[in-house]
Amino acid sequence: MAIQPPNPLTQTSVGTGAPYRERPTHVRHIVLGLTVAAYMITYMDRQILAVARPVIRDELGISLVMMGWITFSFRMAYALFQIPGGWLGDRFGARRALTWVVTWWSIFTILTGRAWNAASMLVIQVFFGLGEAGAFPIATRSLARWMRPTERGFAQGVTHAGSRLGAALTPPIVVLIMAKFGWRAAFLVFGLLGVLWSAVWYFYYRDTPEEHPSVNAAERELIGSGRKRSTEIPWRKILSHSNLWVLSVMYFCYNFNLNVYNDWFPTYLHDSRGMTLAKMGLYASLPLFAGTLGDLAGGWFSDHVLRRTSNVNLARRWVAIAGFLLSGAATVPAVLAHDPKISVAFYCIAFFGLEWTVGISWAVPLDIGGDFAGSVSAVMNTLGNIGGAMSAAVVTYAATRYGWNAPFFITSALCLIAAILYLKIDATKRIA
């Protein structure tokens, strides 16, 4: 009679003979940590140019208008190559694809420090944008097989919180490097950080839990893995899925608002609220830190609701709607308040509400896309970043014609539109 091997999930404990369940390993949490680090690096590398821009303009003789075109070129390259980047992750797997794109943009981060005039800076930033375009879609794909459905909202929240935290921490580091070694050294340091991350990712990450030597049977069972990874992308099903386009238009509204804060809030505080540069630097960072908390809280709360109710639409749709309504409502007193401190306090609430939604919005591609979450999120992020690029023109036009209150009233209206669009998003309708 053949002897059956012991089941690792139900072995007996020594001395008692009582069965016990093997404790799951925590490889998925390390994978999540590496993904958070990737998100931080994306925003760190973007912030270097924003911080060093005044020094670069003086040394290379680049006008403010030309700097605007350089930034616009990066954003359009970033927006237009979201779909190819997402396809890369779905086709070749996140292990290889994310290693490639992070190494690519890290090289062009280093090369930015070698620019010698406006034209070279623009070309380098376009190639930098092409590389970074794959970051979020492929990173989303990397979590599709590793995160349980009740962990996806928190996972996306914590990754985006990492990006906002990276953006907030970068300016003082860049200033310190610039003070000692010059602006070119800052691009070299952060570029090498990305190359190092790529090596660690390729060494440690695997596309499925079954491929990872450190994952035990209990963790595989907990994740619910075991399916074969598909490499054929069903573009017809993806692009004909009504939820995808509603999700993408919603994300257009979100990203427009995000870039109003990222690009123009400091200028607003200086020009409209009369803050000094030192004071502006302090108060401009407060909404960013509030947004970091919003990223964490929104994703966690969405997963909490899903665990308690098993209702995906309640956990995704209504939790996100609450965030958009809070952001839109808080923006109105923020604009109208006469005291700058009270105004900034309401802007912190508004940005907290806006960022409350982002982890949930990136969890939906995991819910509906599965193995094709990279391609789904790439389409969503393409429209979103087109909205972000358009915000530059709209904000400057509105502020010039109607004053600085107008752009923020637009963000309030877009929050209401996004909340209405979320009523049409059904996270239970899977693409394949």
What is the Cα–Cα distance from 350 to 30, expressed in whole angstroms? 32
Nearest 10 degrees: Cα torsion 23, 302, 389, 87: 40
CA distances from 261 to 40, 329, 354 (A): 18, 16, 11
Q: Please, what are the domains in the chain?
A: 26-222 (1.20.1250.20), 233-432 (1.20.1250.20)
- What is the residue type of 220? R
| Cβ pair 157, 32 in contact under 8 A | no
* 251, pLDDT greater than 50: yes
Cα–Cα distance measured from residue 131 to residue 65, given in angstroms and rounded to the nearest whole number: 25
The pLDDT score that the predictor gives to residue 432 is: 63
Identity of the residue numbered 95: R
Q: Name the DSSP letter for residue 19.
A: B
Q: For residue 19, report the phi and psi dihedrals to the nearest 5 degrees.
A: -70, 150
Backbone phi and psi for residue 31, each to the nearest 5 degrees, phi listed first: -60, -45
Over residues 364-377, the pLDDT tens digits come to 887 777 667 767 87
| Amino acid identity at 19 | P
Mean pLDDT, to the nearest integer, of 26-34?
85
Here the tokens at position 13 are: 């404990």
Task: Please tell me which of 13-22, 60-69, 221-230, 412-421 the model is most confident about, judged by mean pLDDT.
Answer: 412-421
φ/ψ of residue 12, rounded to 5: -90, 145
Query: Residue 241 carries which DSSP code?
Result: -
Q: pLDDT averaged over the chain?
A: 82
CB 367 within 8 A of CB 432: no
Q: Which two three-digit tokens encode residue 78?
A: 């970033």
Percentage of the chain exceeding pLDDT 70:
90
Q: What is the pLDDT of residues 183-239, one digit of tens each?
A: 899 999 999 999 999 999 999 888 788 888 877 887 777 777 555 555 566 677 777
* pLDDT for 140: 76
Residue 97 or residue 69, greater confidence? 97
> Which amino acid makes up residue 25?
T
Q: What does the DSSP assignment read for 395-416? A: HHHHHHHH-THHHHHHHHHHHH
Region of residue 5 (phi > 0: left; psi between -120 and 50: alpha; otherwise: beta): beta
Residue type, 75: R
Query: Residue 430 in 3-state DSSP?
Result: coil
Tokens standing for 147? 């995160």
The answer to whether 292 and 161 are in contact (CB under 8 A) is: yes
Q: Is 225 left (phi over 0), alpha (psi -120 to 50) or beta?
A: beta
Q: Encode pLDDT of 254-306 as tens digits.
A: 999 998 887 777 778 877 888 765 676 677 778 888 988 998 888 888 888 88
- SS3 of residue 154 by DSSP: helix
pLDDT interval class at 87 (50, 70, 90): confident
At residue 109's C-alpha, the angle toward residues 107 and 110, to 5°, is: 65
* Residue 314: DSSP 8-state: I
With H, G, I as helix, E, B as strand and everything else as coil, classify residue 12: strand
> What is d(CA 97, CA 108) in angstroms, rounded to the nearest whole number?
17
